[in-house]
């Protein structure tokens, strides 16, 4: 997981979680909230809290289990009005210091196509240089949960409804080229 690509970082030494669970609460400051909101096209994030439990996983890995709650403000794609909503995300991810993902050649079938088994669990993510960035985990979870076309509750787009200003623009459109040709043809016949 490359932390350079995320707007917020909260790094934890993976070696510190060896034989027992560690409770970790992550609450970004105002600058962190602003950076996350700006990166994911949110109007604002007024509150964000990640309540994690870090557990040992296999020999040198970690399991991150917990919840992320966030109060966000988005713009409705239908009404263009800002609206508030609350995210509650359950997190359960595993991390290892090396990649346990199968080699690319093992993912290919006889036709050279990649086969994906939707029934198997995702392989663990990778811990880079002994450091796990919980800020990156938070950012990924938020990014994956956001609706790309957010709608304010109760607002619906109804097909066939046209804004009055659009109707006025329609009446001022240029005539079609065929109508111009028909008018020229009629004038030449006279």
- pLDDT digit string (tens) for 51-92? 999 998 887 788 999 999 999 999 999 889 999 999 999 999
Per residue, the 3-state secondary structure of the chain, as one string, reads CCHHHCCCCCEEEHHHCCCCCEEEEECCCHHHHHHHHHHCCCCEEEEEEEEEEEEEECCCEEEEEEEEEEEEEEECCCCCCEEEEEEEEEEEEEEECCCCCCCHHHHECCCCCECCCCCCCCCCEECECCEEEHHHHHHHHHHHHCCCCCCCCCCCCCCCCCCHHHHHHHHCCCCCHHHHHHHHHHHHHC
Chain centroid to CA 92: 17
Q: What is the pLDDT of residue 188?
A: 78
pTM for the whole structure: 0.70
- 67: Cβ–Cβ under 8 A, 6 or more apart, which residues? 50, 51, 88, 89, 90, 91
Domain ranges of the chain: 3-102+114-160
pLDDT digits (tens, 9 = 90+) for 112-159: 777 666 666 677 888 888 888 999 999 999 999 999 999 998 888 777
**Strand 61-75 relative to strand 44-57: parallel, antiparallel, unpaired?**
antiparallel
Averaged pLDDT, 161-183: 65
What pLDDT is stored for residue 33 in this prediction? Answer: 96
At 129 the pLDDT is 85
What average pLDDT score do residues 83-104 get?
81
Q: How confident is the model at residue 170 (pLDDT cuts 50, 70, 90)?
A: low
Q: Of all residues in the chain, what percent carry a pLDDT higher than 90? A: 45
pLDDT recorded at residue 1 = 40
Tens-place pLDDT, residues 29-48: 999 999 999 999 999 999 99
**Is residue 3 scored above 50 in pLDDT?**
no
Report the mean per-residue pLDDT for the chain: 82
pLDDT score, position 35: 95
Q: What is the mean pLDDT of residues 97-104?
A: 58
């Amino acid at each position: 997981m490359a932390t350079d690509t995320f707007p917020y970082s909260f790094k934890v030494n993976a070696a510190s979680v060896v034989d027992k669970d560690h409770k970790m609460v992550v609450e970004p400051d105002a600058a962190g909230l602003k950076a996350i909101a700006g990166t994911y096209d949110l109007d604002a994030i007024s509150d964000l809290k990640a309540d994690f439990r870090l557990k040992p996983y296999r020999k040198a890995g970690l399991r991150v289990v917990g919840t992320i709650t966030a109060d966000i403000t988005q713009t409705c794609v239908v009404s263009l009005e800002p609206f508030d909503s609350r995210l509650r995300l359950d997190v359960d991810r595993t991390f290892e210091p090396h990649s346990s993902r199968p080699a690319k050649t093992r993912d290919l079938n006889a036709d050279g196509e990649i086969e994906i088994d939707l029934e198997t669990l995702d392989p663990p993510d990778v811990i880079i240089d002994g450091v796990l960035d919980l800020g990156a985990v938070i950012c990924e979870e938020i990014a994956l949960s956001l609706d790309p076309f957010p709608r304010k509750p109760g607002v619906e787009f109804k097909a066939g409804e046209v804004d009055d200003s659009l109707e006025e623009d329609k009446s001022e459109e240029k005539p079609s080229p065929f109508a111009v040709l028909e008018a020229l043809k009629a004038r030449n016949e006279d």
